[in-house]
Structure 1
Amino acid sequence: MNLKKILKDINYELLNGNNNLEIREIQYDSRNVKSGDLFVCIEGYSTDGHKYVNSAVSNGAAAVICSKDIENLTECTVIKTEDTRKALALAAANYYDHPSDKLKVMGITGTNGKTTSTFMMKSVLEAQGYKVGLLGTIANYVGDKKIAAHRTTPESLELQKLFAEMVEEGVNYCIMEVSSHSLYLNRVYGIKFCQAIFTNLTRDHLDFHKTFENYYNAKLILFKNTLNSVVNIDDEYGERVYEDSEGKKTSYAMDKEADVKGSNLHMHSRGVEFDITYKNETQHINLNIPGKYNVMNALGSAAACLGEGMSLASVKQGLEAMLCVPGRCEIVTKNYNLGYEVIVDYAHTPDGLENILKTAREFTKGKLISVFGCGGDRDNTKRPIMGKIGTELSDKAVITSDNPRTEDPMSIIKEVVTGVQKDNYIVVENRREAIKKAMEMAKKDDVIVVAGKGHEDYQILKDKTIHFDEREVIAEIIKELNK
Structure 2
Amino acid sequence: MKLHTLFESYPIIKLPNSNPEITGIANNHVHIAPGNLFVCISGYKVDGHNFAKDAVKNGAVAVVAEKDLDLGVPVIKVKDTKKAMAILADAFYDHPTQKLHLIGITGTNGKTTTSYLINSIFKDSEHITGLIGTLSVNIANQVHETKNTTPDSLALQSIFHKMRENDVETAVMEVSSHALVQGRVNGCDFDVAVFTNLTQDHLDFHHTMEEYKSAKALLFSKLGNVYKKNQLKFAVLNADDPASNLFATETSAHVVTYGIDSEADFTASDVKLGHNGASFTLQYPDGAKNITLKLTGRFNVYNALASIAAAYVSNLPIDTIIQSIEKATGVPGRFELVDGGQDFSVIVDYAHTPDSLENVLKTIKQFAKKRIYCVVGCGGDRDPSKRPIMAKIACQYASNPIFTSDNPRSEDPLAILDDMEKGVIGSNYEIIADRKEAIHKAIQASEHGDVVLIAGKGHETYQIIGEKVYDFDDRLVALAAIKTK
Same fold (TM over 0.5): yes
Q: Which moved more, 1:309-318 or 1:292-301?
A: 309-318
Any residues of structure 2 matched to 1:86-97 within 5 Å, and which? Answer: 86-97=83-94
Instruction: Answer whether contact 1:14 1:78 (CA < 8 A) is retained.
Output: no
Which of 281, 290, 295 matches 2:296? 290
Instruction: Answer whether contact 1:12 1:80 (CA < 8 A) is retained.
Output: no
CA offsets per residue over residues 251-287 of structure 1, 9 Å max, x none?
A: 1010011001111111110111111111141111111
Q: CA deviation at 1:31?
A: 2.0
- Give the structure 2 partner of residue 51 of structure 1: 50
User: 2: distance between equivalents of 1:475 and 1:28?
Assistant: 42
Instruction: Answer whether contact 2:132 2:150 (CA < 8 A) is retained.
Output: yes
1:307 equivalenced with 2:313 (yes/no): yes
Which of 69, 76, 79 matches 2:76? 79
User: 2: distance between equivalents of 1:19 and 1:349?
Assistant: 52
Give the count of matched residue pairs: 476
User: 2: distance between equivalents of 1:44 and 1:174?
Assistant: 28
The code of the aligned residue for 1:233 comes to: A
Q: 1:12 to 1:408 in 2, by over 3 A?
A: farther
Q: 1:76 to 1:245 in 2, by over 3 A?
A: same
1:2 equivalenced with 2:6 (yes/no): no
Instruction: Answer whether contact 2:410 2:466 (CA < 8 A) is retained.
Output: yes
Any residues of structure 2 matched to 1:225-304 within 5 Å, and which? Answer: 225-226=222-223, 227-304=233-310
Q: Which moved more, 1:127-136 or 1:42-51?
A: 42-51
- Give the structure 1 partner of residue 125 of structure 2: 128
The code of the aligned residue for 2:315 comes to: G
User: 2: distance between equivalents of 1:463 and 1:304?
Assistant: 41
- Give the structure 1 partner of residue 399 of structure 2: 395
| TM-score scaled by length of structure 1 | 0.96
User: 2: distance between equivalents of 1:74 and 1:171?
Assistant: 40
Q: CA deviation at 1:247?
A: 2.3
Q: CA deviation at 1:112?
A: 0.5
Secondary structure of the residue aligned to 2:119 is: helix
Which of 117, 135, 138 matches 2:135? 138
Q: Which moved more, 1:6-15 or 1:192-201?
A: 6-15
User: 1: distance between equivalents of 2:269 and 2:295?
Assistant: 16
1:450 equivalenced with 2:447 (yes/no): no
Q: CA deviation at 1:59?
A: 2.4
Secondary structure of the residue aligned to 2:9 is: coil
Instruction: Answer whether contact 2:53 2:71 (CA < 8 A) is retained.
Output: no
1:423 equivalenced with 2:427 (yes/no): yes
User: 1: distance between equivalents of 2:189 and 2:161?
Assistant: 15
The code of the aligned residue for 1:313 comes to: D
Q: Which moved more, 1:467-476 or 1:259-268?
A: 467-476
Secondary structure of the residue aligned to 1:357 is: helix
- Give the structure 2 partner of residue 18 of structure 1: 17
Q: 1:476 to 1:74 in 2, by over 3 A?
A: closer
Secondary structure of the residue aligned to 2:289 is: strand
User: 2: distance between equivalents of 1:77 and 1:238?
Assistant: 46
Q: How much is the aligned-residue C-alpha RMSD, in angstroms?
A: 1.4
CA offsets per residue over residues 77-134 of structure 1, 9 Å max, x none?
A: 1001122111111111111111111111000000100000001101111111111110
Instruction: Answer whether contact 1:6 1:92 (CA < 8 A) is retained.
Output: no
- Give the structure 2 partner of residue 474 of structure 1: 478
Instruction: Answer whether contact 1:107 1:195 (CA < 8 A) is retained.
Output: yes
Secondary structure of the residue aligned to 2:366 is: helix
Identity of aligned residues (%): 42
Q: Structure 2: which 5+ residue stretches go unaligned?
A: 224-232
User: 1: distance between equivalents of 2:311 and 2:335?
Assistant: 23
User: 1: distance between equivalents of 2:349 and 2:263?
Assistant: 30
CA offsets per residue over residues 139-189 of structure 1, 9 Å max, x none?
A: 110011010011000111111111111111111100000001111111110
The code of the aligned residue for 1:371 comes to: V
Q: CA deviation at 1:50?
A: 2.0
The code of the aligned residue for 2:213 comes to: Y
Q: CA deviation at 1:60?
A: 2.6
User: 2: distance between equivalents of 1:32 and 1:74?
Assistant: 18
User: 1: distance between equivalents of 2:413 and 2:290?
Assistant: 46
Q: Which moved more, 1:385-394 or 1:113-122?
A: 385-394
The code of the aligned residue for 1:352 comes to: S
User: 1: distance between equivalents of 2:104 and 2:292?
Assistant: 25
1:108 equivalenced with 2:114 (yes/no): no
